Structure 1
Amino acid sequence: MRPLFLALCLGSSLLLSAPLFSAPALQEGIHYDLITPAVAKTTDKPEIVEVFNFKCPHCAALAPHTAEWAEKNKARFQFRSLPVFWGKQTDLPLRAFFAAEFLGKGEAMKQAIFNAHFNHSADIENKEELVFMAEALGLDGKTFQNQLFAFAVSAKLSQAKALQESYRVSFTPTLVVNGTYQILPSRHAKGENGVDHARLFEIIETLAQK
């Protein structure tokens, strides 16, 4: 009986020390899609680009999670926000974001525009509304207005459009990792009650190290 008892104890010990869950290897088409040809990164760090639309409710829901993750991991990864617009939408919200970004308030303006549109039904394609938001964030209204149509902001818009095409983005939100991997949260990190954010960032971090 003693050898059997020792074997059972050893087996129990091994079970307790083994991981309870072993994540499967990531698979193309299930956890991500490939971008072909790949787009060159703009940094030596692993780069994650969040492509979003200011009138997209799924983008608004995801934004606080990506902002929190990016802040916690800023030493490890380069995170960038890339707004896009569709159809009859105008480029004014994008201009407002890029103008605020140049003035040091990009992330705050991003959240403010989402909040204004989805929680207060504000017209985010109205210049006066956008100036009001900028002033609420502590920016000088006149400086912000001048920045809206500055050459640097227009150049950012052109770059955003070019990257949208290069990344082959047709849905938002889309996360792009190292210019090579495209992740659609609602498809590649789908959980029981929507997007599984823990799984999403696990996929991002795994791909970023490739």
Structure 2
Amino acid sequence: MLSPKIIRILAAAALTATAFFSPASHAQGAQQYVPINPPLPSDTPGKVEVLEFFAYTCPHCAAIEPLVEDWVKTAPPDVVLKQIPIAFNAGMKPLQQLYYTLLALDRPDLHAKVFTAIHGEHKRLFDKKAMGEWIATQGVDRAKFDSVFDSFSVQTQVQRATQLADAYRIEGTPSFAVGGKFMTSPVMAGNSYEGALKEVDRLIPMARN
């Protein structure tokens, strides 16, 4: 079990690592995206994948989450959104596991609540014990949570998330990859959450080609 001091250190490191940053330095002029060259393959054949790279410790990811929820409701039928949790250091891996555990438990509704718990209620959900105690208050069986959290399936998805972050060279969150061909972010879109999603909309037709 991690000591309170270690948890504070890991939390501080996670918050520092998830600053509002993206590969904007690679953009030219007023261009609000960067091309991915060579393009990366999709895990969903026949669909335009929009990957949102996020971290639960990132306040900007928390702020943009309601906008992402609204955006996906009106996305074109050939577009699929996949949210990819990022770990910039070893202390953030449990947060990746938490996301995929929520999906495995069929409780995606708790995704946004994790942001609220961390950023709005200042709960220290940085290890399995704290997460399990919190999720039990959300009507999830604690024993089932513990089992799924450490399952092979969740570990495999965490590994895939890390592979994607490496492949896309993710330097900060939130960042959006469109169709394996383009990358954008709020920073690149004029420091605007709304602007980033508008840029995603603009890139989708380009990604189809």
Query: Under TM normalisation by the shorter chain, which class is it?
Result: 0.7 to 0.9
1:103 positional shift: 1.5
**Cα–Cα, structure 1 residues 165 and 132, in superposed 2: closer, same or farther, change >3 Å?**
same
**Which string of whole-angstrom CA distances, capped at 9 and with x for unpartnered residues, describes residues 68-92 of structure 1?**
2113327331110000011353311
Q: Give the distance between the partners of 1:128 and 1:74, measured in 2 at CA.
A: 40
The residue matched to 1:169 in structure 2 has which SS? coil
Write the letter of the residue equivalent to 2:190: K
* Aligned position for 1:99: 101
- Correspondence for 2:199: 200
CA gap of 1:136–1:147, structure 2 versus 1, over 3 A, is same
Structure 2 residue 98 is matched with structure 1 residue 115:
no
SS in 2 for 1:47: strand
The residue type equivalent to 1:91 in the other structure is K
Shift, 1:117, TM fit: 1.0
Q: Which residue of the partner structure matches residue 11 of structure 2?
A: none
Partner SS for 1:163 = helix
Structure-1 separation of matches of 2:53 and 2:34: 15
Please give the residue correspondences for 1:120-159 in structure 2 after superposition, counting only pairs within 5 Å: 120-159=121-160
- Report the Cα distance in structure 2 between the residues aligned to 1:92 and 1:119, rounded to whole angstroms: 20
Q: Which has the higher contact order (CA 8 A, sep 6+)?
A: 2
For structure 1, the residue ranges without an aligned partner over 5 or more in a row are: 1-27
> What is the match of residue 47 of structure 2?
45
Q: RMSD of the TM alignment (CA)?
A: 2.0
Identity %: 21
In 2, Cα distance between equivalents of 1:96 and 1:157: 10
Deviates further, 69-78 or 34-43: 69-78
User: Where does structure 2 lack aligned partners over 5 or more consecutive residues?
Assistant: 1-26
Matches within 5 A, 1:55-66: 55-66=57-68
Partner of 1:196, secondary structure, is helix
When structure 1 is superposed on structure 2, of 67-76 and 170-179 the one drifting more is 67-76
TM-score, normalising length from structure 2? 0.77
Aligned to 2:178: 177
Compute the TM-score of the two structures, normalised by the length of structure 1. Answer: 0.77
Counterpart CA distance in 1 for 2:194 and 2:64 is 11
Whether the 8 Å CA contact 1:47–1:208 is kept in 2: the answer is no
Contact 1:35 1:168 in 2 (8 A): no
- The alpha-carbon distance between structure 1 residues 112 and 204, as it changes in their structure 2 partners (threshold 3 A), is farther
Instruction: Tell me the CA shift for residue 67 of structure 1.
Output: 1.5
